[in-house]
Chain A
């Protein structure tokens, strides 16, 4: 790296040509000025060396990777801007309405009456419109438009999309929640439905498979929504991927917890074992252990001698007391008939 600096340091041209050297290197010298400077360059080795040094300096600086904002940042900026413009539009409508019935000069002429009227309006608004202010803007502006995607949501669309938000409304009677996933593509789109809906499931599992592309809040929401469907092969695979490769321990922990709530296949058990042995986050390891314990209590480890062998090793040697105790319990349960 020191050599990088050497290449453009210490070289100075003729003092009267200092500006021209900088402008020439920046390709900003034109016409007669350029011709004159080039003539001088032909005769002046000092200025030529200074020009080389200037070019090297610019090359080194521009060769550095420019910091790029994360794609999710653009999506969140757009959402926030849209909310702010909604507010401005809403406020300006209200201002026009208020001015039409309550001119500003009236306030000056009758201050006491104005104050009383404002208090009255405030109370009335508070009493009659409590829920209105919290209502979300209906998705009718173009930034939210596009509505529900057709069942043809494909891999290509997902590859170019950012998930700017996942919202859901809990349903009654243990029915799955209504989910709304906002996708930012060339034209923002919204995918709606329950977790059983093909498109919703596809987006949520895509988020977990491609966790490096999405923000931690989006990944956590995806796991949270998918956890009730861990028995589904596609979902289980996505949860395994999250448990193995998500950089956020909270996501890994939740994915392992979700896997433990179903009857996972051998690959999922292997994912838990790997997390238990290799993950350096104590919370994640404990989640893996707890899930394995749950599975063991349901007789899920009876057909997995490899997993039991690892647990035997951990019950003797793991530095974490909780893991040692839980491993021992799981090993015992794996040898006993499953609890009813």
Chain B
């Protein structure tokens, strides 16, 4: 009884959230800027995290973020409520990320790694000067980081689509059906991409033994 009441409560909240979101989208479609900005603030963290984990570069992640939400702003009137706004935004985000990864694969100069702190922040010019103070030079090369580097290299060896599918499945925790919906392709194609990605990763990591 308690459980069913709780489930009803969750379902009720979800319904309210959905209705609330639809109302926001409709307002945004009439040109209401605050409504659009409210929608942005609901999803922009997720979009930025996805972009950053794929490109691992502040400036590129910023460009992707900008492109995603500008596309959404320009095309908002074309949103027909056939899927959730979340799926629609993620669909745009995955497309922009894929375009970016494909372009990047063809431009070698872009592949120079950006010096970054372990917390993900970019180091500026002054930060890059040599420092030997104990407080400013923490143990950055922990043993586990070697494995992390191998995995990052292995992930870098995947095709943009395989990388995207693997990321959405194993880091974002999405179902393959949803991923297919976002990428505008069938679940079967997504399964194949995931299969290829996993096989490549295994081979790549075995090669590093």
Contact = CB atoms under 8 A, between A and B. Distances in A.
A278 interface: yes
**Contact residues of B: prevailing secondary structure:** helix
B127 A67 contact: no
Interface majority SS on A: helix, strand, loop or mixed? helix
A141 B191 contact: no
B48 interface: yes
A6 B170 CA distance: 21
A22 B198 contact: yes
A143 B198 contact: no
A141 B74 CA distance: 18
Contact of B198 (A54, A85, A247): A54
A70 B121 contact: yes
B53 A66 contact: yes
Interface string B55-84: 010100110011001100110000000000
Interface in B10-54: 33-34, 36-38, 40-41, 44-45, 48-49, 52-53
B120 A1 contact: no
Given A67-B120, A69-B120, A142-B37, A80 B198 contact: no
Contact of B44 (A2, A62, A78, A248): A78
Given A5-B206, A23-B191, A57-B202, A64 B44 contact: no
A263 to B, nearest CB: 28
Given A22-B198, A76-B62, A9 B209 contact: yes
Interface in B94-146: 119-122, 124, 126-127, 129-133, 135-136, 143-144, 146
A112 interface: no
B169 interface: yes
Contacts of A215: 121
A69 B129 contact: no
Contacts of A2: 209
A49 interface: no
A6 B205 CA distance: 10
Contact of B202 (A8, A19, A65): A8
A249 B195 contact: no
Given A61-B151, A64-B148, A66-B171, A19 B133 contact: no
A88 to B, nearest CB: 7
Nearest to A142: B34
A280 to B, nearest CB: 4
A212 B120 CA distance: 12
B148 A28 contact: no
A69 B130 contact: no
Contacts, number: 142
Interface string B145-162: 011100100000000000
Contact of A72 (B37, B121, B129, B144): B121
Interface string A55-86: 00110111011111110111011101110110
B48 A74 contact: yes
Interface string B186-204: 0000010011001101100
Contacts of B126: 216, 248-251
Nearest to A246: B136
A138 interface: no
Contact of B131 (A62, A66, A281): A281
A248 B120 contact: no
A26 interface: yes
Interface residues of A, number: 56
Contacts of A16: none
A61 B66 contact: no
Nearest to A80: B66
A10 B77 CA distance: 52
Contacts of B58: 69-70, 73
B151 A64 contact: yes
B89 interface: no
Nearest to A279: B133
Nearest to A61: B151
Contact of B133 (A8, A18, A68, A278): A278
A247 B205 contact: no
B1 interface: no
A278 B119 CA distance: 25
Nearest 8 interchain pairs by C-beta: A69-B52, A70-B121, A250-B126, A142-B34, A9-B206, A77-B65, A280-B132, A5-B209
Interface of B: 33-34, 36-38, 40-41, 44-45, 48-49, 52-53, 56, 58, 61-62, 65-66, 69-70, 73-74, 119-122, 124, 126-127, 129-133, 135-136, 143-144, 146-148, 151, 169-171, 175-176, 191, 194-195, 198-199, 201-202, 205-206, 208-209
Given A10-B206, A80-B62, A80-B66, 6 more contacts: A19-B191, A26-B176, A70-B58, A77-B62, A81-B40, A89-B33
30 contacts: A2-B209, A5-B206, A5-B208, A6-B209, A8-B205, A19-B195, A22-B194, A22-B198, A23-B191, A26-B170, A54-B198, A60-B151, A61-B170, A64-B147, A65-B148, A68-B119, A70-B58, A73-B61, A76-B62, A81-B70, A85-B70, A141-B33, A142-B33, A142-B38, A143-B37, A216-B126, A216-B127, A247-B127, A249-B129, A250-B126
